[in-house]
Amino acid sequence: MLDGSPDRSPKASGSEKRQRNRKTDIRWDEAEYSLLTRNAQKTGLTRNGYIRASVLGTPGPRAQRAPHVNAVELAKATAALNKGGSLLNQIAHVLNAGGSIASHECFAALAETRAALSRILEIVGRRNRE
């Protein structure tokens, strides 16, 4: 401030520093929303990016591309991850109760879980960070 006193206003958060600081709300009926979602998926954009591209002619400099997801494959991979997680939970339960488990069973359950996680990451367009 000019008078030498400290500025007591709180610092702006990261989201408050963004250049896009105006927001609009749009209400959609089921048919309109389905059409919007389908059209956005066809272009590979998020719904917001698609709307911005439709209105402005460009989705913007930081537009996120929506990954194409095969829902059936994702469901299968998620089921496999659940199965591996269940096996690991059963192993932990036995070990916590003072029992013993063969190490090859532990490694097999862990490998199964890692493989399922890798497949899920592949389906959603992410790299595995191992």
Q: What one-letter code names the amino acid at 88?
A: L
Per-residue confidence at 14, pLDDT binned at 50, 70, 90? Answer: low
| Region at 102 (left for phi over 0; alpha for psi -120 to 50; beta for the rest) | beta
pLDDT digit string, tens, across residues 59-89: 877 666 666 667 778 888 888 888 888 888 8
Q: Does 25 have pLDDT greater than 50? A: yes
Stated length of the chain: 130
pTM: 0.42
3-state secondary structure (DSSP) of residue 65: strand
End-to-end CA, the chain: 50
Q: What one-letter code names the amino acid at 36?
A: L
The distance from CA 16 to its chain's CA centroid, rounded to whole angstroms, is: 23
pLDDT digit string, tens, across residues 39-52: 988 888 889 889 99
